Amino acid sequence: MKSHEIDYTIKGHDIQLVEIELDPNETVIAEAGAMLYMKEGIDFETKMGDGSEPDKGLFGKLLSAAQRKITGESIFITHFTHRGSGKSQVAFSAPYPGTIIPIDLEKVGGQIIVQRDAFLCAALGTKISMHFSKNIGAGFFGGEGFILQKLEGDGKAFVHAGGTVIEHELKGDSIRVDTGCVVGFESSIDFNVQRAGNLKSMFLGGEGLFLATLTGHGKIWLQSMPISKLISQLSTGGSNSSKESSGGLLNSILEG
């Protein structure tokens, strides 16, 4: 299914929103609860599916819903359609502060892989499915980075990142990143989750137990403040005292 052609404007700086402009009978799909406002003529309907395969039967819709449940997303997707005349707008905002990244899927080979909570909205015709990283064992223990989402189509999609977005172009080289800081990458990139050094480094380094390694040719998008890191800092109050005390104990065990 060819994606609907939509126009958009991204507004704001640290806490952004995207306003989608629709012609009559154009539709944009979005995560449940992402809508900020909609103007006259916009009608919405919650469906169990992204609408990219209109002939998909009940079993196919249930399978898609189950996949979305596994990724931690709502099993429903809201479809916003302009039923009036002229042009009208509907706006979407992410659930936490950060940056919205517009991606033209046609210009990145028709698909992109994103973190499971990164998808915000897209033109109707975009297919959303589950994607697994290769290193399943490390992925289970690494938490973030194991279950990913694949966005496919030829239209515009919008993903959300926490904090500042860093766009990086790999040219056959590789980069290691905190698993939670990976927003998305082109399908030409090889993604793997590996253990972060030896036992001492893993527990005392403060960099997490696992790191994501991205290798190949293509673009990657990183975020400076994933929601998991923000929650962790708020819950601990930014204190390192407990880490230092436990670190001293572990040091004694490892060295003695």
Q: Which domains does the chain have, with CATH numbers?
A: 7-238 (3.60.160.10)
Cα distance between the two ends of the chain: 64
Strand 98-104 and strand 111-115: pairing? unpaired
CA atoms within 13 A on the CB side of 220: 26
Closest CA to 228 of 145, 130, 144: 144
Place of tokens 């800081």: 181
Q: What is the dihedral of CA 90, 96, 99, 104, to 10 degrees?
A: -50
Give the Cα separation of 254 and 128 in Å (integer): 46
Give the Cα separation of 94 and 158 in Å (integer): 10
Residue 233: what pLDDT?
63
Q: What is the pLDDT of residues 151-167, one digit of tens each?
A: 999 999 999 999 889 99
Spatial CB neighbours of 228, under 8 Å, sequence gap ≥ 6:
144, 180
Under DSSP, is residue 12 helix (H, G, I), strand (E, B) or coil? coil
Tokens of 43: 């009608």
Residue 72: what pLDDT?
57
Residue 178: what pLDDT?
86
How much of the chain is helix, strand and coil, in % rounded to 5? 25, 45, 30
Q: What is the pLDDT of residues 221-241, one digit of tens each?
A: 999 988 766 666 666 665 554
Q: What is the pLDDT of residues 178-221, one digit of tens each?
A: 888 999 999 999 988 877 655 555 455 555 567 889 999 999 99
Residue 245: what pLDDT?
43
Residue 97: what pLDDT?
85
Place of tokens 């196919």: 60
Least confident of 48-52, 98-102, 141-145, 208-212: 141-145
Residue 142: what pLDDT?
45
Residue type, 116: R
Q: Over range 81-101, report the average pLDDT.
A: 94
Residue type, 113: I
pTM as predicted: 0.80
Q: What is the DSSP letter of 15?
A: B
Tokens of 50: 């992204």
Share of residues in the chain with pLDDT > 70 (%): 69
Region of 143 please: left (phi>0), alpha (psi -120 to 50) or beta: left
Q: What is the pLDDT of residues 102-126, one digit of tens each?
A: 999 999 999 999 988 899 999 999 9
Give the Cα separation of 140 and 132 in Å (integer): 11
DSSP-assigned states of every residue in 29-86: EEETT-EEEE-TTEEEEEESS-SS-TT--HHHHHHHHHHHHHTTS-S-EEEEEE-SSS
Q: Which residue has the higher pLDDT, 147 or 94?
A: 94
